[in-house]
């Protein structure tokens, strides 16, 4: 059997499919497609259809009403019309995200930086479909939970009032505010002030709940006189009724003081169920068998009711309406 020369083996291994894949132009970079060139700041040329751009953007529609470029004649072929090249100031990474949206193609992956670029570029060239497309991804839990301040800022920029309200509410789970460079680098001062004022009002409403408690909202100790024994859990009078002062566990007051302190800078209703706070109450009643037997159930109910009251108070605080284009 005659051995196959190395060169022949290489030729047999190569396939038309792999060769085709290597020479296929990148999306929108096929020079045989379209009648317009979008030339980006990094000198990447996207070949697109003027009709698509005109339908998506009044800016481009007006541009394409200008007289066409002159034609050139060739003795070896038909008359050739040169493509109009439109130089844009954005990089190719931005237009590679915008063009699939204009062409209604498969949606590209988008991060927060991409969404900011979409809103800015869409507003610049008057492409409402691109700007509006940023609203949906901003609702992603990935963005809202991890970067609520950035989502709020982008919502203000895009004029997405619904997103801004949700993001502002989600910031309440965060302690304090991020450094300006992390979320507010490009946002206008009015938008920042509105968010800070909203957080302050939510803090005040939440803290007030911990200060106004009555018999229906507080943990009451057992009644030792009716059982013939003495309860050893320290208590503290909190309000007066016809039959005398009503008391609660001193640890419950400590719980409310700790909760108030936490809510003063992080108005998150779920703090009412924080284990470190509830442990203060639970461990304080272990010396009384009667209180100990029911403390876990009563403590959970008390925490859930407190959380619900804080949630109700915060839900009554409103965020002022945002206006589009509030980035500097």
What does the pLDDT average to over 100-104?
Answer: 91
The pTM of the full predicted model, rounded to 2 decimals, is: 0.76
For residue 20, name the pLDDT band (cuts at 50, 70, 90).
Answer: very low
Q: Does the pLDDT of residue 181 top 80, yes or no?
A: no
- Buried b / exposed e over 303-317, threshold 16 CB at 10 Å, is beebbebbeebbeeb
Work out the widest C-alpha separation in the chain, in whole angstroms. 118
Q: Does the pLDDT of residue 15 top 50, yes or no?
A: no
Please give the residue that has the higher pLDDT: either 243 or 235: 235
CA distance 125 to 128: 9
Residue 86 parent element (H or E): strand 84-87
Architecture of the CATH domain 18-127: 2-Layer Sandwich (3.30)
What does the pLDDT average to over 179-205?
Answer: 79
Q: Which is it for strands 71-74 and 77-81: parallel, antiparallel or unpaired?
A: antiparallel
Please give the residue that has the higher pLDDT: either 199 or 211: 199
CA distance 249 to 288: 12
Residues in the chain: 328
Contact (CB, 8 A) for 246 and 239: yes
Q: pLDDT at position 321, please?
A: 58
Domain spans of the chain, in order of start: 18-127, 134-328
């Amino acid at each position: 059997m005659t051995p196959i020369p190395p060169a022949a083996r290489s030729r047999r291994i190569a396939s038309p499919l792999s060769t085709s894949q290597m020479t296929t132009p990148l999306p929108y970079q096929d020079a045989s497609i379209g009648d317009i060139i979008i030339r980006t700041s990094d000198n990447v040329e996207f070949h697109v259809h003027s009709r698509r751009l005109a339908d998506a953007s009044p800016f481009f529609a007006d541009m394409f009403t200008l007289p066409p470029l002159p034609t050139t004649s060739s003795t070896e072929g038909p008359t050739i019309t040169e493509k109009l090249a439109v130089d844009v100031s954005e990089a190719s990474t931005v237009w590679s995200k915008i063009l699939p949206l204009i062409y209604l193609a498969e949606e590209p992956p988008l991060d927060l930086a991409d969404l900011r670029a979409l809103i800015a570029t869409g507003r610049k060239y008057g492409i409402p479909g691109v700007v509006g497309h940023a609203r949906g991804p901003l609702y992603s839990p990935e963005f809202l939970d991890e970067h609520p301040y950035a989502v709020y800022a982008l919502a203000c920029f895009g004029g997405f009032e619904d997103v801004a309200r949700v993001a502002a509410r989600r910031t309440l789970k965060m302690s304090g505010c991020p450094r300006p460079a992390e979320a507010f680098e490009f946002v206008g001062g009015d938008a920042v002030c509105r968010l800070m004022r909203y957080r302050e009002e939510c803090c005040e409403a939440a803290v007030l709940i911990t200060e106004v408690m009555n018999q229906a909202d507080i943990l009451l100790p057992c009644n030792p006189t009716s059982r013939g024994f003495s309860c050893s859990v320290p208590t503290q009078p909190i309000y007066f009724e016809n039959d005398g002062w009503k008391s609660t566990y001193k640890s419950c007051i400590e719980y409310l003081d700790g909760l108030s302190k936490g809510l003063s800078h992080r108005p998150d209703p779920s703090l009412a169920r924080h284990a470190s706070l509830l442990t203060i109450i639970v461990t304080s009643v272990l010396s009384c068998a009667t209180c100990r037997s029911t403390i876990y159930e009563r403590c959970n109910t008390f925490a859930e009711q407190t959380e619900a009251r804080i949630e109700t108070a915060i839900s009554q605080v409103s965020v002022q309406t945002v206006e589009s284009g509030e980035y500097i």
